[in-house]
Amino acid sequence: MHPVLFKFGALQIPSYGALAAAGVLVALLLAQRTARSAGVNPAHIWNVCVLALFSALVGSRILLAALNWRVLKAHPVWILGLATIHSPWLAGEGILIGAGAAFAYMRWQHMPPMATMDALAAPFTVGLALEQVGALLAGAGYGTDTSVRWAVVYTNPLAQRWSGTPLGIPLHPVQAYAALAYATLAILLLIWLPMRRQAGDLAGAALMGMGISVYITEFWRDPEGRGQLLQGALDGPQVGAIVLVLLGAWLLRERTAPPGRKGAIVHE
């Protein structure tokens, strides 16, 4: 595949970073539309997204640098390569940091949390879909060995250097499976948004859909560095996926509408 999307002289633009950035941009623009449908101020949604993204990027990289401080002291130039690192644990930590910053801003601005999460549900899954396309090109989060006709074979040494991807071996294009699942989920969420029964339903469905997608696609991902639980029955991301499904089910629970608003969408 193509771990480098563009090359300008000595400057290389990594596919993973470029597609992840494109996913963020598309999600930001789409969130301006979904905010109106969800009844949330688009300007506040923009601020939430930017704050969450900045906090996730900075927080996760600081944490990564702290965990590898001895190596970085010996090789300080390696700090420039942190942007190419793709790890499920690092991604999870970044999401938690970003979510914490977003909820703090929402409380400060008195934004309705359920409606805000509804507005962000579809844009977030679109961003994940593009991120997985970038991972496919870069070889990050690669799949297990396979003999299927649609297998991918990586030959670029940069894929191995940046992501540890095995070269010359047919692998499941699990990133494509995940991208397709997220894209399908995003389309369904966009269709459902104006018809949702109560605020929080879309966010709940998104969490459950993402959890199911992660749980299933993990069966085709290489287990290296993903953690093993219950004697290999589950890995770390699958445990996180179960948590997402449970959180989604909790958000989808029936909530009581305020007096005089029977049948209306509950915005808290």
What is 94-126 written as a DSSP string?
HHHHHHHHHHHHHHHTT--HHHHHHHHHHHHHH
pLDDT digits (tens, 9 = 90+) for 140-196: 889 999 999 999 999 998 888 878 899 999 999 999 999 999 999 999 999 999 998
In 3D space, the residue among 240, 201, 200, 242 whose CA is nearest the CA of residue 94 turns out to be: 240
In a domain, 89, yes or no: yes
As for how many domains the chain has, the answer is: 1
In a domain, 107, yes or no: yes
End-to-end alpha carbon distance in the chain: 47
Calculate mean pLDDT across residues 5-12: 72
pTM: 0.83
Calculate mean pLDDT across residues 123-128: 94
Query: Given its phi and psi angles, is residue 96 left (phi above 0), alpha (psi -120 to 50 degrees) or beta?
Result: alpha
In 3D space, the residue among 112, 131, 116, 139 whose CA is nearest the CA of residue 193 turns out to be: 116
pLDDT digits (tens, 9 = 90+) for 206-246: 999 999 999 999 999 988 767 777 766 787 888 889 999 99
pLDDT tier, 64 (very low <50, low <70, confident <90, very high otherwise): low
In a domain, 66, yes or no: yes
In a domain, 44, yes or no: yes
Residue 123, amino acid = P
- Tell me the β-bridge partners of 229: 234
In a domain, 151, yes or no: yes
- Model pLDDT, residue 178: 97
In a domain, 76, yes or no: yes
CB atoms within 10 A of CB 49: 23
- Model pLDDT, residue 26: 94
Mean residue pLDDT of the chain comes to: 84
Higher-confidence residue of 258 and 27: namely 27
In a domain, 248, yes or no: no
When computed from its CA atoms, the radius of gyration of the chain, rounded to whole angstroms, is: 20
pLDDT digits (tens, 9 = 90+) for 77-90: 555 454 445 555 66
| Domain ranges, residue 75 | 4-179
- Model pLDDT, residue 243: 93
- Model pLDDT, residue 3: 82
Is residue 126 predicted with pLDDT exceeding 50?
yes
- Model pLDDT, residue 173: 97
pLDDT digits (tens, 9 = 90+) for 88-107: 566 667 778 888 888 899 89
Q: Half-sphere exposure (CA, 13 Å, Cβ side) for 83?
A: 13
In a domain, 199, yes or no: no
Helix (H, G, I), strand (E, B) or coil at 234: strand
Kindly give the interhelix angle for 113-138 and 88-108, rounded to the nearest 10 degrees: 150
